[in-house]
Structure 1
Amino acid sequence: MPTPDVREKQSSRERWRWQFDATAAFAPSFEQPPVLDKQLIEQNRRFDAALENMSQGLCMFDADRRLLVWNKRYLEIFGLRTDHLCVGMSQRQIIEILVNLGRYAAGATVETLSEGTRTSLSEGQATSILRELADGRTVSATHRAMTGGGWVATFEDVTERRRNEDRIAYMARHDALTDLPNRVSLHEFGNAILDQPMLDRSLAVLCLDLDRFKLVNDGFGHALGDRLLRCVAHRLRRQVRNGATVARVGGDEFVVLHLVKDLKEAEALTRRLIAAVSAPYDFDGLRIEIGMSAGIVLSGKMDRDVTQLLQSADLALYQAKLDGRGVFRVFEPQMDESARARLGLERELREALINGRFEVHYQPLVELSSNDVVGLEALVRWRHAERGLVSPAMFIPIAEETGLIVPLGEWVLRRACEDAKRWPGHVCVAVNVSAHQLRQRTFATMVLSVLSESGLDPKRLELEITESVLLDETDANLETLHVLRAHGIRIAMDDFGTGYSSISYLRRFPFDKIKIDRSFVREIGEKPEAAAIIRAIIGLGQSLNMTTLVEGIETDMQRQAVLAEGAHEMQGFLFSPPRPAPEVDALFGVKHSKTRAA
């Protein structure tokens, strides 16, 4: 009985014998010269070597659909033995062997597989067909017709390529961190739902945004922040029915698409989602608590594009954030009107900055014991062509959200330093600094450059910051403040007492001044605890060798009260409201030079 190696050699010789026989058929009747015979043998040897070293499986069939040639790779791909095939067998016989051996996935029959080959050849050009195998692999079969009849079929295992393509396609439509659908998938899902008849139901679109996530992410690191986001995604998925969509569309922003009967059902779902996300998280003994705000909108009968619904839900979310966070708001048409008004205001704000529509007014900082002006706080004002002076409460939040606060803040600083240069040497100028400004890596360099250009002594500049500045990238911001203070610039904490960690920051940075928020002064004559709080803060400032200033002094009774408690300075309408630079110059008896606009 022949050994496997012998059978392999016999099979190999049999596969290329057809070529030798075809050549001999056209040869003269006399004997072949030895040289020609050797050339033919060498040619067939090379052909056989090329065939056996192909990375693809190959079969060649004649015009009668009979097998002429195959290679070893074809046997490997389909798990065939050498004795399964022989020259002259029909393609149908080969397919029957593969089907009987269970090589193809369930559902594949001899007829369907044969028809696939016929269809491929009838198209007149090389065409690939994907064949699914029972073991989970995918094989690409390509059929190329030969001149005079017959064809060559090549087979390639494309399993890994298909998996990679599927993985890439999946990643393009899903969030890598949470494995939730991303914004692309969200739009497709939403539009597909809107295209279907929903009978008595509506599509509820919920825009969700985490509260206090940035504090966790910055305070404990991005690794824990990522774990938290995965946990949030898991909790959201558990709260929705099958068929609903939960997507992640931003850093800590999620969207839920859910079919509901009415608004009441959508609100109930939103309450469950907020409660689930707001429950404490335990990470290796570390307890983390966050919250979530939401905006809701329901689709109407005419809605066919989820894009507009998402915009409406986002407006409702924005309103929820303004109303205190941890709540939800349902979209109302006036929100859209407010958004358009806000966009208009933003556009006008940009134009005002370019066209010089801003002014700096100054409110005196008064020493309580002598009633002397020892400083002035620079306060920006927007002189609108139609509205007159626009309140900072209206445009400063927009400036911060859009980033315009950075160039605007630099202009205010520059204007204030130039104005202060004209005033007596003992008078300082205080300028507010936002978190967005301090976040700029070049902020300290910019401040020192402005001081150098204006010629103002750094000791006469006071920068006022709020707790929000320290909450944002605390270490980097503290380092910047240390650099500025090392150059003689004074640093004051504004609105002290309104944040939960104000006292902790006094341990981390040696502030020169504490400005006690006006909310405590307002109740000083009505509630004993208000005076007690002011007394405690003043005592804390004295023990830390910090100047204490009380804001919002509007009556002489309030002035007397904070003076009795030991405060150093006051600021408020009792002495003066904010005044334009010419009036401040007149106060000090100096000649005013025309103020340049922004």
Structure 2
Amino acid sequence: MMMPSSYSPLLVVCSFLVAILASYTALEMAGRITAAQPSVAKAWLLGGACAMGVGIWSMHFVGMLAFRLPVPIGYDLTITLLSLGIAIASSAFALWLVCQEELPLRRVVGGALLMGPGIAGMHYTGMAAMRMTPGIKYDPLLFSLSIVIAVVASGAALWIAFQLRQHGTRVRARRAGAAVVMGVAIVGMHYTGMAAARFPMGSSCAAMHSGASSNWMAMVIVIATLAVLAIALIISVLDLRLELRTAALSSSLAEANQELTYLALHDSLTKLPNRLLLEDRLHQSILGAGRGASRIAVMFLDLDGFKGVNDAFGHHVGDNLLVEIAVRIKACVRSEDTVARIGGDEFVLVANISEPTGAAALADKLLRVIREPVESDGHELQVSASIGIAMYPGDGETQHDVLTNADAAMYHAKAQGRDVYCFFENSMNVNAHDQLQLLQDLRHALAQGELVLHYQPKFQAPAGPVLGAEALLRWNHPTRGLISPDRFIPLAEKTGLIIPIGEWVLDEACRQMREWVDAGHDEWTIAVNLSPLQFSHDRLVRMVTETLLRHGLEPHYLTLEITESTAMRDVESSLAILSELHAMGVRISIDDFGTGYSSLLYLKRLPATELKIDRGFIRDLTHDTEDAAIVSAIVALGRSLKLGIVAEGVETSEQQEFLTKLGCDSLQGYLLGRPVPAEKFVEADKLLSRP
């Protein structure tokens, strides 16, 4: 006859919840071990085995504590701890197994056959901790069924844990569902084993007096287990978040490094390779050509007329034009060829070409597509290109030589009239080296006092008196003699040397004007030209102010000349700068008027003092009725805007008479006076002033 038994419903429910939580912890630990670095994975395996083992064991023990007999029940601590050790060992084996790279079916079956008896061993060892006298008898069928359930549950748990070990979208929800299934299986095994137990009537618990009482163990075990599992889960979640954040940061850093590398090797406007990447690819192409029989064509392209587009329509339109030209060039070449933008409107093409005739055909194609009109912001733009071609091998031994020679050939193409291509010849190096030497000399010209100013008189129409002078820069080279600005000003603009040179010109002109005023010529003014780079410089207004103060010169003695295209490049910015200068009392002259694309709406807002008619309209004035009409219109426009009209380039008496009749206020030109040094200017004025 067997003793009757019962269960505490609350503890049964508690054991089920612990089983689910333990299962979820096991799945979470499997994910953490898989994702961890090898050096950290062992620690996660040990911690995970302890947490998972304590959870499974706790479920088992809470289930036993829910069991009620008519006699008092206790548990032997040694045997109880042994059952805990079996649970941790089984958990460690399960976690190790599911964290392998592969888990074939045979390994799942083998693991289940080892783990299932281990879990069953934990259960029945825990039952033995009661030390019942006489001993517990087990129903063979239910006993066998509990072991089968343990084996099947272990196999299912191994397979589920392996499938859900990777972190991904919705994986936590799937783990929660799987934990419920695994919890049911574990609880089913436990209570099947408990149902197999038979307690003979008159049995007593020997562990009741020497072991631990179930009254306090239930509370301690539940609290301790929940704490262990909660800590394990919290650590796992925090570590996962840290890992995800680290991964996100690493990904962001990788993307940033990739973007920085791209920006360092590509032009930001056209997205073409820049000079740095070009040199590397050219080096690789030269190495490849050296190993085989192929040849390389290096083409240096410079756009003709691009500066005019920039000056007339602004940088935005110019940038759009460059982007379109880059697209057209790329469309003409193969994917293995390199097209680079190395600055401004300069492009370089590196192509594998078997014969020079192939390079010529490609250059012809490039010239044709570049000269086609481009639509940008409602403007139809048209530019051409000058192309220099150097071949390797043949036109240089190194990449630097080949690029330099292609550049020299490009300058030769420009000299031939532009919109053409030229192959490099050795004689071209002479001009290229001459330009380079000129640039080197120009860098030292200012410090060595080689720059001088000549002054061209400005006359009241028709023939005087002298109203003032325009300061014109000359370079007195120690070996080349007097160099005209046409040769060195473009170099100064291109390299930025025009900024310090321009400051010197303004300073020297104001110093000279101070001398003339002190000598009694207080009716004169001095005109100084501003380059586009100077005009856009952020120190312009301050520099003008400081120069006038330094020489004690009243602002109305100074006239600053800017070209029409420079003033119209960025109208709002030009208005702001010119308004500041005008407010100081400085006179403003719009130079080369008629050559740009001024809007009358903006022109009337410019605080200008005078308009200066470009010499191009003056040259054929008496023979070209179209030029005469344009000059007449400019004079009429100036009159309506209450501006003074200056005509430059007057070289014949016919031009002098015609311009005077039209109403020009003042004249400049070789007919009336050539540019001369300051010491000769006053002498010339005295001669002109004689009756």
TM-score over 0.5 (shorter chain):
yes
- 1:70 alignment partner, one of 83, 87, 96: 96
Secondary structure, counterpart of 1:394 in structure 2: helix
- In 2, distance between residues paired with 1:366 and 1:217? 30
Distance 1:266 1:586, change over 3 A: same
CA contact (8 A) 1:194 1:303 kept: no
Secondary structure, counterpart of 2:352 in structure 1: strand
* Backbone CA RMSD of aligned residues: 4.6
Q: How does 1:10-159 map to 2 (within 5 A)?
A: 38=81, 45=88, 70=96, 72=98, 74=99, 84=108, 86=110
Give the structure 2 partner of residue 362 of structure 1: 455
Secondary structure, counterpart of 2:361 in structure 1: helix
**Mind listing any 5+ residue stretches in structure 1 that lack a counterpart?**
21-32, 52-66, 90-100, 102-155, 590-598
CA contact (8 A) 2:311 2:568 kept: no
Give the structure 2 partner of residue 133 of structure 1: none
Residue type of the alignment partner of 2:549: S
Secondary structure, counterpart of 1:465 in structure 2: strand
Give the structure 1 partner of residue 278 of structure 2: 186
Give the structure 2 partner of residue 557 of structure 1: 654
Give the structure 1 partner of residue 483 of structure 2: 390
- In 2, distance between residues paired with 1:405 and 1:179? 30
- In 2, distance between residues paired with 1:402 and 1:218? 22
Range that drifts further, 208-217 or 232-241: 208-217
Higher RCO (Cα < 8 Å, 6 or more apart): 2
Secondary structure, counterpart of 2:467 in structure 1: strand
- 2:261 alignment partner, one of 162, 172, 177: 172
Deviation at 1:353, TM superposition (A): 0.4
Q: Give identity over the alignment, percent.
A: 33
- 2:642 alignment partner, one of 545, 561, 584: 545
Range that drifts further, 233-242 or 319-328: 319-328
TM-score (norm 1): 0.68
Residue type of the alignment partner of 2:660: L
Give the structure 2 partner of residue 535 of structure 1: 632
Deviation at 1:403, TM superposition (A): 1.6
Give the structure 1 partner of residue 167 of structure 2: none
Distance 1:520 1:199, change over 3 A: same
CA contact (8 A) 1:208 1:292 kept: no
- In 2, distance between residues paired with 1:575 and 1:287? 41
* Cα distance per residue 1:469-525 (max 9 Å; x no partner): 225444323321111012211111122223344867634424211111222222123
- 2:564 alignment partner, one of 467, 482, 504: 467
Deviation at 1:431, TM superposition (A): 0.7
Give the structure 1 partner of residue 306 of structure 2: 212
Residue type of the alignment partner of 1:70: W
Secondary structure, counterpart of 1:561 in structure 2: helix
* Cα distance per residue 1:172-203 (max 9 Å; x no partner): 36637666555454344433333335877521
Give the structure 1 partner of residue 592 of structure 2: 495
CA contact (8 A) 1:451 1:457 kept: yes
Distance 1:415 1:250, change over 3 A: closer
Deviation at 1:377, TM superposition (A): 0.7
Distance 1:38 1:324, change over 3 A: farther
TM-score (norm 2): 0.60
Secondary structure, counterpart of 2:464 in structure 1: coil
Secondary structure, counterpart of 2:504 in structure 1: helix
CA contact (8 A) 1:364 1:374 kept: yes
Distance 1:236 1:394, change over 3 A: closer
Distance 1:560 1:188, change over 3 A: closer
Range that drifts further, 438-447 or 332-341: 332-341
* Cα distance per residue 1:219-278 (max 9 Å; x no partner): 5886x8777666544433332235333344446544322222333322221232343344
- In 2, distance between residues paired with 1:483 and 1:43? 90
Deviation at 1:385, TM superposition (A): 2.0
Distance 1:40 1:295, change over 3 A: farther
CA contact (8 A) 2:373 2:383 kept: no
Deviation at 1:367, TM superposition (A): 0.4
Distance 1:567 1:258, change over 3 A: same
Residue type of the alignment partner of 1:445: R
Pairing 1:568–2:665 present = yes
* Cα distance per residue 1:350-390 (max 9 Å; x no partner): 22200212222211100015620111111122222223322
Residue type of the alignment partner of 1:264: T
Deviation at 1:36, TM superposition (A): 11
Give the structure 2 partner of residue 92 of structure 1: none
CA contact (8 A) 1:431 1:463 kept: yes
Secondary structure, counterpart of 1:495 in structure 2: strand
CA contact (8 A) 1:280 1:287 kept: no
Deviation at 1:159, TM superposition (A): 11
CA contact (8 A) 1:316 1:335 kept: yes
* Cα distance per residue 1:524-550 (max 9 Å; x no partner): 233333333322222221122111111
Give the structure 1 partner of residue 357 of structure 2: 264
Larger-gyration structure (1/2): 2
Q: How does 1:244-263 map to 2 (within 5 A)?
A: 244-250=337-343, 253-263=346-356
Secondary structure, counterpart of 1:172 in structure 2: helix
Give the structure 2 partner of residue 151 of structure 1: none
Deviation at 1:569, TM superposition (A): 0.8
Deviation at 1:433, TM superposition (A): 0.8
Range that drifts further, 563-572 or 309-318: 309-318
Distance 1:162 1:328, change over 3 A: farther
- 1:239 alignment partner, one of 329, 332, 341: 332
Secondary structure, counterpart of 1:196 in structure 2: helix
- In 2, distance between residues paired with 1:209 and 1:269? 16
Deviation at 1:395, TM superposition (A): 1.8
- In 2, distance between residues paired with 1:304 and 1:88? 73
- In 2, distance between residues paired with 1:263 and 1:163? 47
CA contact (8 A) 1:69 1:87 kept: no
Residue type of the alignment partner of 1:523: D
* Greater fraction helix: 2
- In 1, distance between residues paired with 2:564 and 2:578? 13
- In 1, distance between residues paired with 2:278 and 2:379? 32
Give the structure 2 partner of residue 526 of structure 1: 623
* Greater fraction strand: 1
CA contact (8 A) 1:357 1:382 kept: yes
Distance 1:71 1:470, change over 3 A: farther
Distance 1:215 1:550, change over 3 A: closer
Distance 1:501 1:177, change over 3 A: closer
- In 2, distance between residues paired with 1:213 and 1:80? 72
- In 1, distance between residues paired with 2:97 and 2:411? 67
Residue type of the alignment partner of 2:381: E
Give the structure 1 partner of residue 13 of structure 2: none
- 1:452 alignment partner, one of 541, 544, 549: 549
Pairing 1:344–2:437 present = yes
Deviation at 1:429, TM superposition (A): 0.8
Secondary structure, counterpart of 1:355 in structure 2: coil
